[in-house]
Structure 1
Amino acid sequence: MILTSSLATEIVEKIGHIICYNINIMNHLGIIIASTNPKRINTYHKGAEEVIKTGKIIEITEEIAKNSQGVQEGVNLPVSFNNKIVGVVGITGNPSIVRQYGELVKSMVELMLQQTFLTEQITLERNARERFIYDLIHANFYDEEQVLLRGKIFGYDLTIPRLCIVFNVNSFNNSLKQWIKKYQADSKVFIQDLYNNIPKFINNYFPLKKQDIFLSLGNGDFIILLAVQDVKNIKDVVKQIALYCNNTIDKIKENLEIEIIVGIGSCYSSISDLSKSYNEALKAIKIGRVVMHLRTDNNLNKNNVFFYNNLGIYLLIDSLPDEAIEEFMKKYLRINQNLTNLLDPTLKETLLKFFECDLNISQTSREMYIHRNTLIYRLDKIYSLTGRDPRIFSDAVDLKIGLLIDAIRGNGQF
């Protein structure tokens, strides 16, 4: 541990106005690195050299100072860290008076050195842990045995099956801009507060256990590698996870005014598959945004938690090559442009609500607060524009797929 000028200066500034004597702090080479007398900084201190050599306190009386060139009376005390002298504290004045102040400054320096060391160790350990988790979810390793050993160092049993949960700040950059504008906040301070507060809410409302692994990625993503002890009852586990996630999302929105979307990957036993669960969770978030866009404004189902294994047709469409999509749209649906561009906003909203109400005309008209005849007119209009009648199940499937294709491919603007 090195006694730095910044640490020494901080100490001198804190107590310099309290102690009415000149204070000098020297490094392990005997150079003054902080002083209440700025002119002495970066000069050599002969008394400090003797202290470093002998390891003893050296007191210079007025008589000794008179007989020595360039020496002032005072007390010089060794500063130790882990039984090694790393610097010297000097107080100018009558030794019998300033001795107690010297001991005080020495104790303060040694205490701050210890605190700085512990802080650095905690930071190093946290950085090492975060890097380990990052490598784990990105499969940046070759030897699984080494990974298991590294996991044990951090207290993780990586033989336990896990699934990945990703909490994502929806439209992260837009959320930042809106918050900063609304509260006229400093962007750096706000971002730091954001990254401090979201993990607190996750930890408070999502009951993490000892073997659950948490990581903030710093890009609006907060990750949990959840240990699943009861794999046989995974369906019940998933239901419980959904409850915890929705509760956490609600609390974050209520307190931070930020919308969170959650993606959840499959459960895997092998550590080499944890990256697969992570990527599935990211995919679930991507598709989840599509699902959210396809909701109507008055849709009561505002669930923002999406399980990869429940996304079915969305994943199928997302995996299809562009050529197959274009052929399907033009040859089968016989639509030469994006379906969402073909329909105006009112017709889009009507079609989406009609699907949400399971093609029920009465329910749709009630929920949209429109007359039944108005709804029928709009459905007829959709039929004339697309050649597909939403009231006929097979045609409705075609239209639904067309909407999904536009949304998943980034063409749908809802």
Structure 2
Amino acid sequence: MIDLPLAREIVERTMKIIPFSVNVMDRHGTIVASGSPERIGSAHLGAQLALARRSTVEIDDSSTAHLHGAKPGINLLLVVRGDICGVIGLTGQPDQVRQFAELVRLTAEMILERARLTGELQREKRYREEFVFQLVHRTGVSDASMAAWAARLAIDVRLPRAMFVLEVTGASHRMDLVLTELQHVQAALAMRWPDLLTAVVSPGELVMLEGFDTADSPMPRAQRARKRLHELHEVIRPALQFASTLAVGVALPGLDGATASYESARHTARVGRRREPAATVFSYFELHLPVLLSSLQSGWQAEQLRQTLHKLKAYDQKNGVLVKTLMSWFKHNNHPALTAQALHIHRNTLDYRLQKIGELTGLDLAIIDDRLMLYVALQITPAEAGD
């Protein structure tokens, strides 16, 4: 279909290269755009004849005698991918305009083909975005429909895939500005990786979905995730002026796996921000245990685990020294020298604090079960409790 902006572009472009008036007609022979604007909206007899005969029609002075209202000229069918889209007409004596006819037709068809291709690409982009959006929100679309959708996009749902979640942090930003910025990021990512599946799934959240092989050992997987996070961050950072975090979730196969990956990426970002407030990039593969434990936030089991920290917090309410010491000890893999160095204290001071922790909690830090209980308690305790 030839719309008004497209018809105007054809007229303007072609009249820059030939010294004759040009008319563009739709599939009904109605003038959509013209070098003579007063003719717009009227029927074009030459175009109607060309459409009826499915061929080029030339009208000379003798023909106008029995074609009331017609003007001399040549009318050519506009065909794109085998479909007749309309007619383009050159006003003038056929002997004079004939030399330009083919050039004008080719120019018009090139513009139409470009417009159709652009429309298809835009539709494909929206189709891909909506697929990712539905993976995240699953708003009533059946699994069968989602599977067919994936097949249409040539996505093998049997392969593991991971969600990367870019989240704009801070609540003071105008949502329309944030959305515009995320669209800029989306465009930058598309320029770098045209096949990357992306979607804005909320006013402050952009997700990226891509294949992620999990066949290797955990260490290469973690390294690969970190490398990919760095690559994405290098493109995102110049395109986004707001503070943000970027996190990758677990890699899983299947439609439900992609949804779970999104949720795990969001949990990863929350856990990561709590553990490293200054950091902006987080990987599930580096934080998998605290992320998995983060779901244990309620119920009597969680309360029993948190009980182990109550006496510590009661003992040093002012500075929270013992909780900070315990957190640093776990962060440095129970290594005494590294922990003491990080806390800027003597080894003897560290030993005293760890002993005090054991006395207050009634747990033996040399026993793995007791040590694990304290670690889990720290992971499920709200951030302010460990500050």
Partner of 1:306: 284
Residue 109 (1) aligns with residue 83 (2): no
Query: Structure 1 CA distance, aligned partners of 2:312 and 2:15?
Result: 76
Which residue, out of 157, 162, 166, partners 2:159? Answer: 162
Query: Structure 2 CA distance, aligned partners of 1:84 and 1:397?
Result: 70
Q: Displacement, 1:121? A: 4.1
CA RMSD, aligned part only? Answer: 4.7
Distance verdict in 2 for CA 1:250–1:57, change over 3 Å: closer
Query: Structure 2 CA distance, aligned partners of 1:84 and 1:293?
Result: 56
Could you give the per-residue CA deviations for residues 154-207 of structure 1, whole angstroms, max 9, x where no partner exists?
Answer: 55555xx532311122x33559969x9xxxxx766643331133366678xxxx
Where does 1:80-91 land on structure 2 (aligned, <5 Å)? 80-91=79-90
Which residue, out of 176, 189, 197, partners 1:215? Answer: 197
Query: Structure 1 CA distance, aligned partners of 2:4 and 2:372?
Result: 72
Partner of 1:352: 327
Q: When the two structures are superposed, what TM-score results if normalisation uses the length of structure 1?
A: 0.69
Query: Structure 2 CA distance, aligned partners of 1:348 and 1:328?
Result: 14
Secondary structure of the corresponding residue to residue 310 of structure 2 = coil
Query: Structure 1 CA distance, aligned partners of 2:284 and 2:371?
Result: 24
Partner of 1:29: 28
1:388 touches 1:399 (CA, 8 Å); kept in 2? Answer: no
Query: Structure 2 CA distance, aligned partners of 1:18 and 1:413?
Result: 74
Query: Structure 1 CA distance, aligned partners of 2:130 and 2:73?
Result: 50
Residue segments in structure 2 that go unaligned for 5+ positions in a row: 238-243
Q: Percent identity?
A: 21
Could you give the per-residue CA deviations for residues 68-107 of structure 1, whole angstroms, max 9, x where no partner exists?
Answer: 6544332222223455543221222232222233332222
Could you give the per-residue CA deviations for residues 220-243 of structure 1, whole angstroms, max 9, x where no partner exists?
Answer: 211124466xxxxx343x443322
Residue segments in structure 1 that go unaligned for 5+ positions in a row: 181-185, 204-212, 229-233, 269-273
Where does 1:169-248 land on structure 2 (aligned, <5 Å)? 169=166, 171-174=167-170, 190-198=181-189, 215-219=197-201, 220-226=206-212, 234-236=215-217, 238-248=218-228
- What amino acid is aligned across from residue 24 of structure 1 in structure 2? N
1:214 touches 1:222 (CA, 8 Å); kept in 2? Answer: yes
Partner of 2:262: 282
Partner of 2:302: 325
Query: Structure 1 CA distance, aligned partners of 2:143 and 2:231?
Result: 40
Where does 1:252-271 land on structure 2 (aligned, <5 Å)? 252-257=232-237, 259-266=245-252
Secondary structure of the corresponding residue to residue 2 of structure 2 = coil
Which residue, out of 316, 337, 342, partners 1:367? Answer: 342
Partner of 1:209: none
Could you give the per-residue CA deviations for residues 323-353 of structure 1, whole angstroms, max 9, x where no partner exists?
Answer: 5434554xx43839999x9565877654422
1:60 touches 1:73 (CA, 8 Å); kept in 2? Answer: yes
Secondary structure of the corresponding residue to residue 249 of structure 2 = strand
- What amino acid is aligned across from residue 218 of structure 1 in structure 2? V
Could you give the per-residue CA deviations for residues 104-123 of structure 1, whole angstroms, max 9, x where no partner exists?
Answer: 22222223333333444455
Could you give the per-residue CA deviations for residues 7-38 of structure 1, whole angstroms, max 9, x where no partner exists?
Answer: 11121222334433221111122211011222
- What amino acid is aligned across from residue 222 of structure 2 in structure 1? A
- What amino acid is aligned across from residue 74 of structure 1 in structure 2? G
Query: Structure 2 CA distance, aligned partners of 1:150 and 1:88?
Result: 37
Range with greater deviation from structure 2 (290-299 or 354-363): 290-299
Distance verdict in 2 for CA 1:39–1:188, change over 3 Å: farther
Distance verdict in 2 for CA 1:168–1:113, change over 3 Å: same
- What amino acid is aligned across from residue 102 of structure 1 in structure 2? A
Secondary structure of the corresponding residue to residue 165 of structure 1 = strand
Query: Structure 2 CA distance, aligned partners of 1:15 and 1:260?
Result: 49
Query: Structure 1 CA distance, aligned partners of 2:224 and 2:334?
Result: 33
Partner of 1:207: none
1:28 touches 1:86 (CA, 8 Å); kept in 2? Answer: yes
Number of aligned residue pairs: 371
Secondary structure of the corresponding residue to residue 247 of structure 2 = strand
Q: When the two structures are superposed, what TM-score results if normalisation uses the length of structure 2?
A: 0.73
Residue 15 (1) aligns with residue 36 (2): no
